[in-house]
Structure 1
Amino acid sequence: MTEPRDLLTRMFQAAVRAAQPEHCIPAFLPTPPKGRTIVIGAGKASAAMAQAFEKHWPGPLEGVIVTRYGYAVPCERLEILEAAHPVPDEAGEHAAQRLFDQVRDLTADDLVICLISGGGSSLLPVPGAGVTLADKQAINRALLKSGATIAEMNCVRRHLSGIKGGRLAAACAPARVINLLISDVPGDQPNDIASGPTVADPSTCADALDIVRRYGIALPAGARALLESGRGETLKPGDPLLARVETHLIATPQMALEAAADVARAAGITPVLLGDRIEGEARDVGKVLAGIALQVHAHGQPVPAPCVLLSGGETTVTVRGQGRGGRNVECLLSTAIALDGASNIYALAGDTDGVDGQEEIAGALITPDTLARAWMAGMPPRAHLDDNDGHGFFERLGDSLITGPTLTNVNDFRAILIL
């Protein structure tokens, strides 16, 4: 049989490969318009999406794309800009303005292709009225540490923005707008992918204020005034400015899980897909996943071994320690502690964009002897978990999963292999 770590790694690679723009873009090419074709976009996968679109597009095109530092790929006719993620910077603010400039004065004969993927929220930091870039940076940092879900964070971001929540699509009117989205959010709601710059948003300023109160986020005066006055309201479903907008999901977490399941079956392992939208505190999710694995191990339920438990979604970490994060390694360390060295159970958790938290590390792997090796190295596992230091823990053990930029992003991937 294939070595367990190798099998887990191949499943992760298959999940990432299934979401590569080169495989996804061609099926969604529209008919060329009478007028101009403008390509705009933002996200960790947007440059690779632009390259794939440019390669397969039969006619002239122009446009501007913004992606994360280190995620640019060469394009011949499209300009690729880079900016910061997960905390925005001035380069992102400048790039967002370039996108607005690109869609100015369009006609009904023109076509705008919007290539949007996860990470676009921080790559398009246009502050709303009365809000500064420094305000947005501080709010973003606070949200990232708060334990808020991605949907909650993006609701706040949309209502403090001058570009999200459909505002970029409105600037394209009366041109036809086609959104090609790679989803990195549980539930695949378009308004949550990069905070929905080119789609309608049913949430409200009041919703954003409720989230801020719930998590104790300190708002600068200008940001609070924007929400309390309602001036930060987004474009709603049915808005005439969005009448010519159509949206397609070209890659999703579910597609990635199914690709990993195919690898498992080919190896004679039964895949069990637990869900593509699992959320909650990373350490709590880790405990639950370990509990399911132990049930398989002890009782052959819900399926007998050999099997692999596959799941996706986006967990959260409420930061209380001084460690390096991130959510996938926190979840995995919690799983390891709950498994307590159970035999024949191996696991991998990683972010499909190659970056877990703020580290250039996708995630990590665990084996039945992970805890024993940690104790021998003088590394109390629970102390590392309490310090939110999953990356430090797995790096010292040599069990980090490092991929480099994957140029796509369909959120977290978790696989627990029971033999």
Structure 2
Amino acid sequence: MPDMGRFSPEIPHEELKQRRSACQDRMDPGSVLMIYTAPRRIMSNDVHYRFRQDSDFYYLTGLPVEEGVLVLGPEKACVYVKPGTPEKETWEGPQPNLDETAEMSGIQDVRDLEGLNKDLESWINGISALYYGYGSDAGRDAEILGLSQKLLIRGRAGTSGPERVVHPARILHELRLVKSSWEIQRMQETAEITARAHREIIAAAKPGMGEFELEAILHNVFRKSDAIEAYPSIVAGGGRACILHYIKNDETLQKGDLVLMDAAAARGYIHSDVTRTFPVDEKFTEPQKELYSIVLRSQQKAIASSVAGATMDSVHDDAVSVLVDGLIELGLIKESKDECLEKKSFRRFYMHRTGHWIGYDVHDVGSYYIQGKPRPFEPGMVCTVEPGLYIPGDDDIPEAYRNTGIRIEDDIVITEGAPLNLTSGVPVEIEQIEELKC
């Protein structure tokens, strides 16, 4: 096959080197870490979904290869891959060979995957700990753990298995939680693609359009920027916005509807996550403005609270406090604020948390609690801030507010000072949104 120049590094070598080094520093002396590529998944019969690499494998190697294993020791790194064959390349295009894999990953010791079984015993014989992601592949678990047991039992032959098996999430997911400046820049670029899509959709939405037509605009903007959906998009008109994970997107928008759109881009495995709520018509109605303003004030307070030393729980509490004040003011909550917070009766209108980590996964990895206590934010962490209100159509609700769902979501970087909003390019103020509609 001709050289099509498609095997340049996707992540700078220095970035990958720093990640692997940080991982090695946290490993036990004399231990080994093994990370496997993601499996190919069947969509229907013999048709596969597009391949999506395992986030941990990609984080440490930058390799999109479909079959491979990273082996990392305290002072060494080796990656096994399955080189392309002429037949496979005829069907699927060029595949990186061993030298090209080394160039992409910055790992010099690259071996054919066929040799892994032969090498496996030498990798884990006598090590103190094996960092291995058990639980995702029963057959592989049986092979790895069976070999470990065999080495332990054959002690008279001078072998010994790992003293313990540890899931690599224990160290690797903690590393992924704090982003480098390179990662944050990539997240900013992805956020800007998302912002373009949201602006186009807000401007285009009109009564009589299908939710799927707005989703099509989204896909068009993403693909023109070499990006894809970060997750199945929510484009929910009217009362469907009260369905938190509505993804059918197959209804027609009606005059007077609000549209809740939870949709964002991903590129190079870097994700964004944004929600906006806007009118199908040119203007918000007055009741819609009242509810929207409550959610916006809640989000503004929560973003301002997203600083080093705060926690997900404290940010959530700040968001809830503003929402409850607004609901009481509108008469949707009849009891006192203290009573509402104690009973959590606000959950009738706001039933989810206010944020989550984001990065190489949309709901990214990393602990939210340490020894049972909320984890303090540190500079470099990135999270969403996404309060909302979901007003049901119950008889005790004033008719003007019934079946109204509103959520506003942005991606926030924790810094040494004020929080950085990566997705501020998406209009959020009522006047900004209405100006786009004109």
- Please, what TM-score do these two structures have when normalized by structure 1? 0.27
Rg (Cα) greater in structure: 2
- Please, what TM-score do these two structures have when normalized by structure 2? 0.26
Higher relative contact order (CA 8 A, sep 6+): 1
